[in-house]
Amino acid sequence: AQSVTQPDIHITVSEGASLELRCNYSYGATPYLFWYVQSPGQGLQLLLKYFSGDTLVQGIKGFEAEFKRSQSSFNLRKPSVHWSDAAEYFCAVGSSGTYKYIFGTGTRLKVLA
């Protein structure tokens, strides 16, 4: 079955610390992978995407993610977190053969001053 798992429901980090949010997927076809961020009361904003090619992708706001096919993972990283990064983060998977993108349940990030 196709699925996306974000194992961490909540993560708390101190401002300036590094961040890694985990995402694992189960998908039959070659996946398209996405990370979205949702601030309170807002819609989802695309941070970055992976379709093919270089497995390390750069996104907006200093985020990056690495696609590891052998581990079925697409973890999101940031070297130094800012207070404004506090939000909920969603991993999603899709493919060229379908328009039904599957979203994970989200990871809520709290940033301590």
- Residues in contact with other proteins by CB under 8 A are 32, 34, 36, 41-46, 49, 51, 90, 92, 94, 96, 99-101, 103-106
CB of 80 to other proteins, least distance (A): 27
State how far the Cα of 12 lies from the Cα of 97, in Å rounded to an integer: 37
CB of 56 to other proteins, least distance (A): 19
Measured from the CB atom, the residue of 81 and 94 that comes closer to other proteins is 94
List, in order, residues 6 or more apart from 105 with CB less than 8 Å away. 6, 9
Measured from the CB atom, the residue of 81 and 90 that comes closer to other proteins is 90
Measured from the CB atom, the residue of 26 and 80 that comes closer to other proteins is 26
The DSSP symbol for 44 reads: E
List, in order, residues 6 or more apart from 96 with CB less than 8 Å away. 29, 30, 32
Six-digit token pair at 42?
Answer: 């807002």
Measured from the CB atom, the residue of 50 and 81 that comes closer to other proteins is 50
